Amino acid sequence: MTNKTWYLIISTLALLCWGCSDFIEKPLKDEKVIIVTPGNGVKTNIYTQTFWWEELVGATGYNLQIVQNKFDSLPIFTLDTITPKTKFKFTLKPGNYEWRVLGVNANGKSEKYTLQSLRIDSASLGIQTVTLNTPNNQFKVNYTEIPLSWEAISGASNYRINVSRNDSIKLNFVQKKSTYTYTAPKDGTYSWRVKALNSKDSTDWSETRSFIIDRLIDTTTLSFPPNKTRVSLLAANTTLALTWTKVTNADNLILNVSRIRTNDKFSKTFSASETSVLFKDLNISVVLDDVIEWSITSKDAAGNEKPTAKWTFTIN
């Protein structure tokens, strides 16, 4: 091979390798996550702690591990979880703990770490806080049975669950477990919160979160071209626009198009505010006498879907 040929091959390989660097994740074996808080050796009577560390370049997640006593003496894992965030709130019982954080990506975990010790002392419920687990705030669904959960607190014998809608109390219930399934009587936005109780004391209310029950969605109406009409091949390849009416309570619209002769199917997602698309922009090849079938499905964040009727037009 000539020198020019070799130059072209080497240049091409170099470009390929440079492009691949965006997709090959950095090995984390020798990297260490820097801890922010709580500091090593902290002693506190606050059961709920926020574990916080610095971002590690190349990590896609973090393995937070908390053990009773020490890692090197038959540890009892209190928590072993992977999170994409650099903060994690968790409620502990009184006792002595060690904890560490490992960076994680597709190539494995970091093997270097800093061990942190933490001591939780017993204290009254009055200075504690209930941490809500699920659902997340502004959780939106199209069903009515909502599982609620929160962190159990040492020293609590019961939990009071409060659910309201439009400032009207729908549930004010006391139970021992740290989970409860609430059945919403109708669609709408609900707020919920929890406090821990015992015979002597109670926590303040937790943060307030909301969940949204939404089982209704409108469908758009197809507008143009009219159903069972004929469209010229020239128009299909230039100016023909598929149009529909705007939908106010959907998040997305899925346009489904089918070429009947070949059974080729195409789909494209639009925001609910859009009302048209040029047919040529769908990159569908058509010939004379092709029959095109199309419809639109409205979708929302709660999981509701509603399709239109299917319309057709013929290319002439």
The residue ranges of every structural domain in the chain are: 35-123, 126-213, 222-315
pLDDT at 122 over 90: yes
What per-residue confidence (pLDDT) applies to 26? 77
pLDDT at 14: 47
CATH architecture of 126-213: Sandwich (2.60)
pLDDT at 146: 97
Say which CATH architecture domain 35-123 belongs to.
Sandwich (2.60)
> How much is the CA Rg of the chain, to the nearest whole Å?
29
Q: What pLDDT shows up at residue 239? A: 96
d(CA 80, CA 36): 19
Homologous superfamily (CATH) for 222-315: Immunoglobulins (2.60.40.10)
Tell whether the model's pLDDT for residue 250 goes beyond 60: yes
pLDDT digits (tens, 9 = 90+) for 88-118: 999 999 999 999 999 999 988 898 899 999 9
Domains 35-123 and 126-213 share a fold: yes
Give the pLDDT band of residue 21 (cuts 50, 70, 90): very low
pLDDT confidence bin for 11, thresholds 50/70/90: low
Cβ atoms 171, 163 nearer than 8 A: yes
pLDDT in tens, 137-167: 999 999 999 999 999 999 999 999 999 999 9
On average, the pLDDT of the chain sits at: 92
Distance CA 10, CA 309 (A): 57
